Amino acid sequence: MLKVFLKVLSGVLIIIIVVMLVKTFSFTSRQINPEPASDFKIDSEKAARNLADAVRIPTISFAKKGRNNGDEFLRFHKYLEQTYPRLHKNLKKEIINKYSLLYTWRGSDKAKKPIVLMAHMDVVPVEEKSKDQWKYGPFAGSVAEGYIWGRGTLDNKGNLMGILEAVEGLLKKGFRPQQTIYIVSGHDEEIGGMHGALTIVTLLKARAVRPDFVLDEGMVITDGIMPGISSRVGLIGLAEKGYLSVELLAVSEGGHSSLPPRETAVGILCRAITRLENNPLPARLDGPAKFMFDYIGREMSFVNRVVFANLWITEGILKSQLQKIKTTNAIIRTTTAPTMLEGSSRDNVLPNVARAVVNFRILPGDTPQIVLEHIKQTLDDRRIEIKPLGNKIQGASPVAAVESKNYRVIEKAIRQVFPNVIVAPSLAIVASDARHFAALTPDVYRFAPMSLKFDDLARLHGINERLAVDNYVLMIKFYMQLISNSQQ
C-alpha cells in the first residue's frame, strides 16, 4: 500500500516539476527591440542652464491659504516665453485660472486623436531649518558636479522644461505633428490640482477633446531599487492609488491622572491602531502589480523566473515575501499608515477624547467604502468613532491599457533612448494631476524619464534635490522621440 502511495506521490511530483520547468522556459522576455533613437542634437550646457534658471523662480505651492505668490508664477510664464520663442510662436497658449498653462500644438491630421503631455510648474516649499543642509541653495539654480541642483529639478520642472525643450528642438527642425499635442502645466499639483489640472480637464471636456493618451509624472526609471533585478527598470504607471484619511476618536472618562480608569481613551485608541496595523487589507497580486511582476520576472535569474512563471503554485509564498519590503508591499495592497495622534495637553490630565488619523492608500479594486467597512469590522469597538476626513477622499484611478498601441508608443521611446532599461507596467503609489484626466480617457500613463537610485528618493520633496545633466539630455531626447513615434 505504502509503495503504491509513494509511487503515486513521486509521479505527481515529477509532473509538477515538469510543468514548472515548461512554464519557466516559455516565460521569455517581453522587451521590445526597436530601431535606435533618432539622432537629436541637444546643446546640453544650454539646456541645463535653462532648467537651472527655471529653478531660480520659486513657484511654490503653499498648503496654507493666503500665502499666494502669484507674481512668481507670472514671472515664470514670462521666462518660458523668452526661453522658448519658437514654441510660443507656433503653439496656442492659454492661461487657466491665472497661473496654469495649456499649450495647443495643432496637428496636420484632424482625424487623429490628440495626445496630452503633462508636467506641473509648482514646487513644494523648503523647510526653513533644512536650508543649511543644501549643498547648493534650493533656489540658486546651480549647475555643478554634473548635476542641476535645486527644488523642482526632479519634481517636476525637469519634466516640464524637458517637454518644452523637446518641442522647441522639433520646431527648429521644421517638425509638425500629425496629431494635435496638448501640453498641460498645472500650478497647484502639490496641493491637489483643483484649480489647475482639474479646470483644464473641465475645459477640454467642454471642447469635446478625447485624447488618445495622457502622459504625466508618477513613476521613473529605478536603478537598484527593484529587488531581484540588477538592470534599471523603467516603470510605466498604469494607474495611481486612491487616498483616504480616517479620524479615530476614542472616548473615555477624563480627569486627573492619579485616578485613571482601567481603560483610558489613549489606551483604547492605541489598541485600535495596533489592531489596524496588524490587520491590513489583504494583499493581492492582480491588476498593475500582476503585469509588473510578469514583465520584470522574465528578466530575473533562473530561480526567480521559476517563481514568477508559476504563480499557480508560488503565489502565496511570493506574496508573503513581497509584503516584507515596503516598496513592493505598497504595490500589492491598500496600505495603512497612522499619521497623527492627540491626547491631552498636560502630563497629569486624562483626555476625554483621544484622536488619531490613519491614512490609507487605496489599491485599484478596493474602494473608500471597502476600506471603511474593513476598519469597522477590524476594530469592532463602539467606543471608537470612525470618521472619513477632509476633501481628499479618492478611489484608485482607472487602469490604463497595457500591450495597447498607446502603451507601446511610450515603451518604444524608453527602449530607444534608454536601450539597457527594462520596461514594465506598474502602479503609481502617490497622487498626481494625472488622475483628473480619467474623465477624458482611460489611457492615462505615469512615467518620467528620470533614473533614480534609492537615496535619490529622499531628494523628492527633500534636501539636495538634483537631476544629472546627462539624464536631463536623455529626458529631452525621450520627449522628442515620443512625439515623433506617436505620429506613426
Which region, judged by CB under 5 A, interacts with Zn ion, from 28-36, 155-163, 232-240, 362-370? 155-163
Q: Which stretch binds Zn ion (CB under 5 A): 19-27, 152-160, 267-275, 476-484?
A: 152-160
Peptide bond into 156 cis (omega under 30): yes
Q: Confirm or reject binding of residue 185 to Zn ion (CB under 5 A).
A: no
Q: H or E stretch including 484? A: helix 469-486
Among 156, 222, 335, 481, the residue binding Zn ion under the rule CB under 5 A is 156
Distances (CA, A) of 73 to 95, 159, 246: 11, 17, 34
Q: How many whole angstroms from its chain centre is CA 225?
A: 15
Shortest Å, Cβ 273 to Zn ion: 30
From 155, 165, 168, 189, active-site residue: 189
| Candidate ranges 29-37, 132-140, 156-164, 198-206; the one touching Zn ion (CB under 5 A) | 156-164
Residue of 363, 289, 288 whose CA lies nearest to 319: 289
Least distance in angstroms from the C-beta of 142 to Zn ion? 21
Compare residues 119 and 375 and give the one whose CB is closer to Zn ion: 119
Instruction: Supply the minimum distance, in Å, between the C-beta of residue 385 and Zn ion.
Output: 34
Least CB distance to Zn ion at residue 338 (A):
25
With H, G, I as helix, E, B as strand and everything else as coil, classify residue 266: helix
Least separation in angstroms between residue 155's CB and Zn ion is: 4
Between residues 155 and 456, which has the closer beta carbon with respect to Zn ion?
155
Name the burial class of residue 348, with classes exposed (0-12), middle (13-18) and buried (19+) by CB atoms within 10 angstroms of its CB.
exposed
Q: Where are the beta strands (DSSP E) in 332-450?
A: 335-342, 349-350, 353-362, 384-394, 422-428, 444-446
Instruction: Please give the Cα distance from 19 to 289 (Å, whole number).
Output: 24
Catalytic status, residue 342? no
- What is the nearest approach in angstroms of Zn ion to the Cβ of residue 415? 25
Place of cell 477624458: 440
- By C-beta, is 219 or 250 nearer to Zn ion? 219
Q: Is 122 a catalytic residue?
A: yes
List the one residue from 122, 155, 165, 443 that touches Zn ion (CB under 5 A).
Answer: 155
Distance CA 374, CA 464 (A): 40
CA-nearest of 75, 69, 83 to 56 is 75
Name the DSSP letter for residue 363. P
Complex with Zn ion: residue 155 or 299, whichever CB lies closer: 155
Residue (188 or 366) nearer to Zn ion, CB: 188
Going by C-alpha positions, the residue among 465, 467, 485 that lies closest to residue 475 is: 467
Q: Considering beta carbons, is residue 275 or 461 the nearer one to Zn ion? A: 461
Size of residue set near Zn ion by CB under 5 A: 2
Q: Which helix (H) or strand (E) holds 42?
A: none
Residues pairing with 338 in the sheet = 358
From 122, 299, 443, 465, the catalytic residue:
122
- What residues are labeled active site? 122, 189
Kindly list the residues in this chain that would bind Zn ion in the complex (CB under 5 A). Answer: 155-156
